[in-house]
Amino acid sequence: MSIAIECHTESMESFSKLAPVEAVLFDIDGTICDSDPIHYYAFREMLQEVGFNNGEPITEEFFSEYISGKHNPDIGKFLFPEWDHDKYMKFMDDKEVLFCSLAKDQLEPVNGLHKLCKWIEDHGLKRAAVTNAPRANAELMISKLGLVDFFQFLVIGSECERAKPFPDPYLKGLELLGASPKHTFVFEDSASGIRAGVAAGMPVVGLATRNPEQVLKDAGGSLLIKDYEDLNLWNMLHELEPSIAENLDASDGNKQ
């Protein structure tokens, strides 16, 4: 059964107000690639090894609510409140090593991603990846998906003063691109990431790749889509095209 899509007039207005769009910001995990199943597997196996939850495997629902999209130090502190910082961060680092070894062979782009990236490039929009993932993971995923030359900047949450759900990483992305939040929108798949994008003053397209639609909507997602082939996404983009073209023509005229 196809996912139900929320696309009300009020939501579409939040994107039409962006005209002319100048930049697009992307989360990575679950947004450009369906990496959550790999993360879930790695957490499930490693948590069982240390006897978490009396050795019972965590569920996908537990992963979605308490782990997906969150910052590693926050995850470690939540899972192991009685462990010291170094101990739970060692667990998180080991989990990332396992993730990377699995991702090398299993990582796939979200359906329609490369079509969207071509549209963004063809329309001359600025773009950056903004993630809570460790830098090594983020660079691996971007490389595996063939997007090294697509993203102009990569912002890592742990390298900012505060990671998502705070707006700092998205504000840093805007600063690096020289873009205004009034002319930029975000792609995200988690409630934490959506809240960060909204707090930074931008409308957010929520990808319901794994997380429940209602969770993404409640976090502030303006448009919910199944993947990048979704007709509601393309209807929104096509509505923005005339203003983008006018802006490009004006920029070209100023250069002459």
**Cβ atoms within 10 Å of 4's Cβ, excluding its own:** 9
**224 Cα distance to chain centroid:** 13
Q: Is 230 a catalytic residue?
A: no
Instruction: Give me the catalytic one of 27, 34, 189, 230.
Output: 27
Q: What angle do CA 8, 21, 163 make, to 5 degrees?
A: 85
Backbone angles phi, psi at 182, to 5 degrees: -75, -15
Note the helical H segments in the chain. Answer: 9-16, 36-49, 60-66, 72-79, 85-106, 113-122, 135-144, 168-177, 191-199, 213-219, 231-255
179 in Cβ contact with 130 (< 8 Å) = no
Instruction: Give me the catalytic one of 29, 34, 189, 230.
Output: 29
Q: Output the six-digit token pair for 218.
A: 């409640």
Q: Is 2 left (phi over 0), alpha (psi -120 to 50) or beta?
A: beta
201 in Cβ contact with 229 (< 8 Å) = no
**Rounded Cα gap, residues 64 and 219, in angstroms:** 14
Q: Is 36 a catalytic residue?
A: no
Active site residues per annotation: 27, 29
